[in-house]
């Protein structure tokens, strides 16, 4: 929060050697000031009662230009900011920094690799991959805004025993025309049929293992089929990314690491980590309370684990990252713990820089999904339905709006992304249409709507905010409680972005944007802008509208959401 530093500076002189930064907190209610120091946390150190510490400190401290009052309430020492100074500081800063407001240089010179989205070839882009896609993309935007060099990698699932199944199924029941026309749905049908038939005919599983083996050995027919499945699927995935407005620095499929796997195995053998267990090659992790990490199955096929180990080694060589994030759902938490442990046992110090950013599942009221049974919610269908519903609302609310289609796209996609990001990533979430699309609830459209309302006020005012000059002593005019609340919130933006990055949680930013939109609406309803008679106050309020618009648009952008100017 703005001026936190001022509180620290003040306290530094009287609390030497104390970690003030982590001690002071934002009080739950306005009446307790902007910051407070809970003195009971100091009573051990000073061997005094908290109330007494608070009173003694209070006597020693003097208010200044930024902090207008210091008061004690029981064991708390409370600091009250000079609001006129906050208003001036925040509004001028946003007016000057605009699209860069909230950014920082803390990440300069540091590199972060982010592995996210990573759907599986021949399977539909399901709503489950949406979570990884939007959380990963938002973290990518956030870290970039903080000055980090980010590398986004889409680790496409294009290798593994499922390809053996698909090849068997395609050879038995596939249809070339159908594959070209509707690649993903045809491949899904084949996949489902395979599992159904395999229940009756155990031989199919053996056949599939053999076909995958042949693929690994480079048998021409299998490679060609695999290439075809991959090409057609990727084309479909890219359509989805384009719709979502998301791009990647690199698409590297798991198959890419096949050629590195033998080298990885040699290295693991040299480190005496590899054991044979029931025909498979494994790294025993008993000591770490984990099941063995399987590198090769008994039939000789390489595993997802081995490919991830090879990929991590390759990536560190290529990028020498300061951090590598894997944005993947919680069901894979054991997988990543195993992979990171094996890397550590290999002696790679950088293994500590790898982090699994896990998230819960997206559930539908109708139940969970299972690709094998063909029970998937296809993302494109969800996007289409959302667009249709939003278009209907727009036609009712704002029939004269230009570019209805384009805006319906931006709002519907924004609604889905926002809904996903608003939830703490660790939790499972339930997707409910009315909640996702509600213009009045805690939703993307609500935030986008506040932004477009701000844009329309500025348009009506016909005023170039960047040229707006204000006299030094006019800032005190902005003093209504709705105004002050909004200004203080806007001042917290940079802090909120850092918090979101520290915890890898875009939800912190999404929640904050709801608060900004709410505070903006309260301000807008109680403080007239265009009709205000006092010219200076009018200008200040317009500047506040501009500042709110800027924070909403910067924030939405960091979540990967468009901010239309009208809707």
Which residues of the shown chain bind ligand ARG in the complex (CB under 6 A)?
A: 115, 118, 120, 155, 157, 308, 326, 328
Least distance in angstroms from the C-beta of 76 to ligand ARG: 47
236: buried, middle or exposed (CB in 10 Å: 19+, 13-18, 0-12)? middle
- Kindly give the interhelix angle for 404-422 and 444-461, rounded to the nearest 10 degrees: 130
DSSP string, 345-379: HTT-GGGGGEEEEEE--EEBTTB--BGGGTB--BH
CA-CA distance, 354 to 364, in Å (whole number)?
31
Angle at Cα 405 formed by Cα 404 and Cα 411, nearest 5°? 85
Rounded to whole angstroms, what are the CA distances from 387 to 178, 407, 471?
28, 9, 47
Select 309 or 408, whichever has its Cβ closest to ligand ARG. 309
Select 257 or 520, whichever has its Cβ closest to ligand ARG. 257
Residue number of the CB closest to ligand ARG reads: 157
Least distance in angstroms from the C-beta of 326 to ligand ARG: 5
Least distance in angstroms from the C-beta of 185 to ligand ARG: 18
Residue 453 near residue 420 (C-beta atoms within 8 A)? no
Least distance in angstroms from the C-beta of 488 to ligand ARG: 40
Pull the structure tokens for residue 49. Answer: 């009662």
Residue 112 near residue 321 (C-beta atoms within 8 A)? yes
Least distance in angstroms from the C-beta of 529 to ligand ARG: 48
Select 115 or 211, whichever has its Cβ closest to ligand ARG. 115
Angle at Cα 119 formed by Cα 136 and Cα 507, nearest 5°? 25
**Three-state secondary-structure class, residue 538:** helix
Least distance in angstroms from the C-beta of 88 to ligand ARG: 48
Select 30 or 428, whichever has its Cβ closest to ligand ARG. 428
**Three-state secondary-structure class, residue 115:** strand
Least distance in angstroms from the C-beta of 362 to ligand ARG: 14
DSSP string, 22-48: HH-B--SSGGG-SEEEEGGGGHHHHTS
Select 155 or 209, whichever has its Cβ closest to ligand ARG. 155
Select 86 or 324, whichever has its Cβ closest to ligand ARG. 324
Select 118 or 554, whichever has its Cβ closest to ligand ARG. 118
């Amino acid at each position: 929060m703005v001026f936190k530093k001022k509180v620290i500076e003040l306290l530094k002189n009287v609390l030497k050697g104390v970690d003030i930064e982590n001690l002071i907190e934002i009080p739950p209610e306005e009446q307790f000031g902007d910051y407070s120091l809970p003195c009971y946390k100091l009573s051990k150190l000073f061997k005094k009662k908290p109330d007494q510490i608070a009173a003694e400190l209070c006597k020693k401290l003097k208010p200044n230009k930024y902090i207008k009052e210091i008061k004690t309430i029981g064991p708390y020492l409370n600091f009250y900011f000079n609001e006129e100074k906050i208003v001036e500081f925040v509004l001028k800063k946003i007016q000057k920094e605009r699209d860069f407001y909230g950014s920082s240089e803390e990440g300069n010179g540091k590199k972060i690799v982010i592995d996210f989205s990573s759907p599986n070839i021949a399977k539909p882009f399901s709503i489950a991959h949406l979570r990884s896609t939007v959380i990963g993309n938002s973290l990518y935007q956030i870290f970039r805004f903080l000055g980090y060099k980010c590398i986004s990698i889409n680790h496409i699932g294009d290798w593994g025993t499922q390809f053996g199944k698909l090849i068997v199924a395609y050879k038995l029941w596939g249809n070339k025309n159908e594959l070209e026309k509707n690649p993903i749905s045809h491949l899904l049908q084949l996949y489902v049929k395979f599992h159904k038939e395999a229940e009756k005919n155990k031989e199919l599983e053996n056949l599939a293992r053999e076909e995958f083996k042949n693929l690994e050995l480079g048998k021409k027919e299998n490679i060609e089929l695999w290439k075809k499945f991959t090409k057609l699927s990727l084309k479909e995935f890219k359509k989805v990314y384009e719709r979502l407005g998301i791009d990647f620095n690199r698409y590297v499929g798991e198959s890419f690491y096949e050629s590195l796997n033998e080298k990885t195995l040699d290295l693991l053998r040299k480190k005496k980590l590899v054991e044979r267990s029931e025909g498979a090659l494994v790294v025993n992790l008993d000591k770490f309370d984990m099941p063995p990490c399987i590198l090769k199955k008994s039939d000789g096929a390489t595993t997802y684990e081995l490919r991830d180990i090879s990929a991590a080694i390759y990536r560190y060589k290529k990028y020498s990252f300061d951090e590598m994030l894997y944005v993947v759902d919680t069901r894979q938490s054991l997988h990543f713990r195993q992979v990171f442990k094996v890397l550590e046992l290999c002696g790679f110090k950088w293994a500590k820089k790898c982090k699994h950013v896990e998230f819960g599942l997206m559930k539908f009221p109708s139940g969970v999904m299972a690709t094998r049974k063909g029970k998937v919610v296809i993302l494109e269908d969800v996007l289409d339905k959302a667009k249709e519903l939003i278009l209907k609302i727009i036609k009712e609310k704002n029939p004269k709006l230009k570019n209805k289609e384009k805006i319906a796209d931006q709002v519907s996609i924004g609604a889905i992304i926002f809904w996903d990001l608003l939830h703490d990533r660790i939790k499972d979430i339930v997707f409910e249409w009315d909640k996702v699309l509600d213009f009045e609830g805690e939703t993307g459209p609500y935030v986008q709507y506040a932004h477009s309302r701000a844009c329309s006020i500025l348009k009506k005012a016909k005023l170039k905010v960047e040229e707006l000059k204000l006299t030094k002593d006019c800032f005190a005019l902005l003093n209504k409680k709705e105004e002050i609340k909004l200004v203080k919130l806007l001042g917290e933006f940079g802090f909120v972005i850092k918090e979101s990055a520290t915890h890898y949680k875009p939800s912190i930013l999404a929640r904050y944007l709801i608060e900004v939109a709410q505070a903006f609406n309260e301000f807008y309803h109680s403080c007239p802008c265009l009709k205000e008679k006092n010219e200076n106050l009018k200008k200040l309020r317009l500047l506040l509208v501009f500042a709110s618009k800027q924070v909403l648009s910067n924030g939405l952008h960091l979540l990967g959401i468009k901010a239309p100017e009208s809707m």
